[in-house]
C-alpha cells in the first residue's frame, strides 16, 4: 500500500509553489534562517519518504480534521506528500480485516524505521477495555506498534496528556503516550487541536536533520511551545495598560481589550497560536474575542476550568473533589483567625480585670 490510500478527496498534486511555500512556513515556525530552506526542500523532496502508522485511540479525530481540512490545502497536502501514510483509519481506503493487514504489514516490513503517530488517549483501567479496535485494546496495540517504530509523535492533548477523558475523575484511567512508551523517543504536539504547522515543522525537522527539534520538559518542541501565548498576544498592550473586558459584549469587548478578567489563560499557556494562527485566515481564539483556554497544557480540563474565571477553582489536593474558590476559603480563614484573636484578647482582658479586683480587695484588707 502506498500513500495514495488517503487522498481521493484532495487534489493530490501539490504545485511547486505550494510546496516551497509550505516549507518556508515550516522553516519560519521552526525559527530557521532562510538559508536552511533549500536544505529542507531537498530533504522534503527526497523520494525516500518515511512510512507512517497513524493510530487513533480515545479521541474525536479533530486533530486529523484540522490537519487535513486546512482551508489552505497546501499544508495538508505537503504533510501527505512528505510522509508515506501507510495506515490511517480515517483516510485510508482499506477497512476491517484489510486495514488490520496493512497495519501488520507496515509494522513488520519497516520495523525500526517507521514513525508512529498517535492521536487520542489510552485508557489503562480494567485492562484498557474502554477502547478497542479490531478486538484489541488501545493499550495492546500501542505496546505492539510503538516499540518497533523509529520514533513516536503524539498529536493532540489526548495523546500527549490524556485529554478530556483524563479529566477528573478520569473514569477510564486515560493517559498520554509518554506515560506508557519509554524506550522510544516521543515528541508531544499538544493542543486541542494542535496547529498543523507545529506537526509539519517537527516532521520536516526530522527529515532534514535526522533528529527531532529541541523539546521542553513536557516533551513538546520548543519552537512551538517555548513561549506563552500571553507574551505574543496582540492584546498585550491592553493588559499592560489595565484595559480589560469586564463582561462579554461590553464596550471593552467591542474595542478589543484584554480578556484577562474574563478568564483568558494565555498567561499560563505555552503555544504558538498568536504567532502562527489557525486555518490560514489568521485567527486564534483571542483574535476572535474569546479567551485562551490553555488547551496545550497538561490537565487543562481540570486546571483551566471554569474557563471564564481568572484563577479557577483548581481542586486543592486532599479536598475531596470540592471545587473551592481560594478567595472564599481565604476570607473565611482570615475571619476565623480574627475571631480567635478577638476571643483570646477578651479572655486576657477579663483575667486582668479579675486579678485587678482581687488586688484591690487584698489592698483594702491591709
Binding stretches for ligand HEM (CB under 6 A): 267, 311
Residue entry with cell 476565623 = 336
The verdict on 351 binding another protein (CB under 8 A) reads yes
Per 3-state DSSP, the chain is made up of helix, strand and coil in percentages (nearest 5) of 50, 10, 40
207 touching ligand SF4, by CB under 6 A: no
236 in contact with ligand SF4 (CB under 6 A): yes
Specify the stretch interacting with ligand SF4 by CB under 6 A; choose among 71-79, 97-105, 215-223, 263-271. 263-271
- How many other CB atoms sit within 10 Å of the CB of residue 348? 10
Residue 220 as a binder of ligand SF4 (CB under 6 A): the answer is: no
Residue 358 touching another protein (CB under 8 A): no
Determine the Cα–Cα distance for residues 221 and 206; give it in Å rounded to an integer: 12
Minimum gap (Å) between residue 161 Cβ and another protein: 10
229 contributes a contact to ligand SF4 by CB under 6 A:
yes
What is the grid cell recorded at 278? 489557525
Dihedral pair phi/psi, residue 122, rounded to 5°: -120, 115
Check residue 272 for interaction with ligand SF4 (CB under 6 A): no
CA-to-CA dists, residue 321 to 120, 238, 286, angstroms: 26, 36, 30
Query: Which of another protein, ligand SF4, ligand HEM, none sits in contact with 201, Cβ below 5 to 8 A by type?
Result: none
273 binds ligand SF4 (CB under 6 A): no
Count of all residues that appear for the chain in the document? 366
* Intra-chain end-to-end CA distance of the chain, in Å: 114
Which segments of 14-91 does DSSP mark as H helices, in order? 16-30, 37-45, 62-68, 74-82
Q: Which does 229 bind (CB under 5 to 8 A by kind): another protein, ligand SF4, ligand HEM, none?
A: ligand SF4
DSSP secondary structure letters along 134-154: TTEEHHHHHHHHGGGSSEEEE
Residue of closest CB approach to ligand SF4: 266
Q: How far is the CB of 233 from ligand HEM (least distance, A)?
A: 12
- Restricted to residues 177-216, the positions that interact with another protein (CB under 8 A) are 216
Cβ(278)–Cβ(195) below 8 Å: yes
Stretch that binds ligand SF4, among 16-24, 46-54, 91-99, 255-263 (CB under 6 A): 255-263
Residues 6+ apart with CB under 8 A from 298: 157, 160, 161, 162, 176, 190, 218
Chosen from ligand SF4, ligand HEM, another protein, none, partner binding at 56 (C-beta under 5 to 8 Å by type): none
Cβ nearer to ligand SF4, comparing 43 with 258:
258
- Of 122, 175, 233, 271, the one binding ligand SF4 (CB under 6 A) is 233
- The footprint of ligand SF4 (CB under 6 A) covers 229-230, 233, 235-236, 239, 258-260, 264, 266-267, 286, 291-292
Amino acid at each position: 500500500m502506498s500513500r495514495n490510500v488517503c487522498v481521493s478527496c484532495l487534489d493530490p498534486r501539490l504545485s511547486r509553489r505550494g510546496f516551497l511555500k509550505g516549507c518556508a512556513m515550516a522553516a519560519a515556525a521552526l525559527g530557521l534562517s532562510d538559508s536552511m530552506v533549500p536544505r529542507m526542500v531537498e530533504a522534503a523532496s527526497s523520494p525516500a519518504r518515511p512510512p507512517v502508522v497513524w493510530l487513533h485511540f480515545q479521541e474525536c479525530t479533530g486533530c486529523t480534521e484540522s490537519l487535513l481540512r486546512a482551508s489552505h490545502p497546501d499544508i495538508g497536502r505537503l504533510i501527505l506528500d512528505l510522509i508515506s501514510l501507510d495506515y490511517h483509519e480515517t483516510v485510508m481506503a482499506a477497512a476491517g480485516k484489510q486495514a488490520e493487514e496493512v497495519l501488520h504489514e507496515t509494522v513488520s516490513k519497516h520495523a525500526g524505521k517507521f514513525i508512529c503517530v498517535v492521536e487520542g488517549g489510552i485508557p489503562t483501567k480494567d485492562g484498557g477495555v474502554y477502547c478497542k479496535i479490531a478486538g484489541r485494546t488501545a493499550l495492546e496495540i500501542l505496546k505492539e506498534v510503538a516499540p518497533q517504530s523509529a520514533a513516536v509523535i503524539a498529536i493532540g492533548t489526548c495523546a500527549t496528556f490524556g485529554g478530556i477523558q483524563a479529566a477528573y475523575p478520569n473514569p477510564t484511567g486515560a493517559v498520554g503516550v509518554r506515560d506508557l512508551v519509554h524506550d522510544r523517543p516521543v515528541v508531544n504536539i499538544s493542543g486541542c487541536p494542535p496547529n498543523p504547522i507545529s506537526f509539519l515543522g517537527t516532521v520536516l525537522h526530522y527529515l532534514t536533520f535526522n533528529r527531532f527539534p529541541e523539546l521542553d520538559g513536557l516533551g513538546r518542541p520548543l519552537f512551538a511551545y517555548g513561549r506563552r501565548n500571553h507574551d505574543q498576544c496582540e492584546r498585550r498592550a491592553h493588559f499592560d495598560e489595565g484595559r480589560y473586558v469586564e463582561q462579554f459584549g461590553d464596550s471593552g469587548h467591542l474595542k478589543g481589550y484584554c480578556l484577562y478578567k474574563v478568564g483568558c489563560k494565555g498567561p499560563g499557556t505555552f503555544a504558538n497560536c498568536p504567532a502562527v494562527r489557525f486555518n490560514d485566515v489568521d485567527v486564534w481564539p483571542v483574535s476572535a474575542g474569546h479567551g485562551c483556554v490553555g488547551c496545550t497544557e497538561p490537565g487543562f480540563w481540570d486546571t483551566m476550568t471554569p474557563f471564564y474565571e481568572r484563577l479557577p477553582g483548581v481542586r486543592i489536593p486532599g479536598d475531596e473533589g470540592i471545587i473551592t474558590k481560594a478567595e472564599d476559603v481565604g476570607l473565611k480563614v482570615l475571619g476565623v483567625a480574627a475571631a480567635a484573636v478577638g476571643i483570646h484578647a477578651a479572655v486576657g482582658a477579663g483575667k486582668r480585670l479579675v486579678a485587678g479586683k482581687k488586688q484591690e480587695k487584698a489592698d483594702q484588707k491591709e
